[in-house]
Amino acid sequence: MKTSKPPLIAYKNEEFLRSPEARTLRILSEYLEPDKRFDRNKINSTVLFLGSARIQADDRSAPLSRYYRDAEELAFRLAQWAIPLRPKGKNFVVCTGGGPGIMEAANRGASRAGGKSIGMNISLPHEQAPNPYIPEDLCFLFHYFFMRKFWLVSRARAVIAFPGGYGTLDELFETLTLIQTEKIAREEVVVMLYGEEFWKDVVDFDSLVKNKTISAAEAKIFTYASDPEKAFAFLKRKLFRFCSVYGPLRFQG
């Protein structure tokens, strides 16, 4: 007896692709598709901005509102400086998690400088909509947190952590752990904690050294900054050494 419908090719079978058995394919897709888009846009390296989605530009009475303006200004300066550095593609492209708050500020600053920037959103029960300053071809949406975190760090030559909550702390400490364990070479990425007063209040790194849970050298993986002009001068000096080194970080193993 002939069937009324022709059989589906496996890669067009949406029921299968959404099933637990096809999870590996979905994970692989979230690795391969961004990689292709980065290559198509000739993205060699990025500067990753982390920070709270809850810090808004128009709430000047909020205790952390100045960090929105600082993030926008720092991203503007970095993008303006990086745009001419294109002998083999785009370098030090501003990259964020794609949402509101500090993420929006950084994408906005890069846009103001006339540069492209990257936004890597995550699908959540309450959707995090992409901010309006991300170009369509560099606006991503991930299902898997671990794949999103991989791509946030993968091509970063600098990671700048502005004040934030659980998500910011998670991403910051994962980066510090990768450097501490030499999965990322320490000399290949600059880590900056922006907002020294905030970070020293939230995390007592000196206590970690005192209690020997980290070494004194490991407490120097990062640097503090609290002024966009000084932060830019420091980052420009550190990043300049990478100007002749293109491509993603070399993850070990």
| pTM score | 0.91
> What's the confidence (pLDDT) of residue 86?
67
What architecture is domain 43-239? 3-Layer(aba) Sandwich (3.40)
* Contact between residue 118 and residue 93 where contact means Cβ atoms under 8 Å apart: yes
pLDDT digits (tens, 9 = 90+) for 46-79: 999 999 999 988 777 788 999 999 999 999 999 9
DSSP-derived secondary structure for 16-76: HHTSGGGHHHHHHHHHHHHHHHHHHTTB--EEEEE--TT--TT-TTSTTTHHHHHHHHHHH
10-14, 17-21, 184-188: least confidently modelled range: 10-14
Q: Give ∠ CA 175-84-92 in degrees, rounded to 5.
A: 5
pLDDT of residue 48: 98
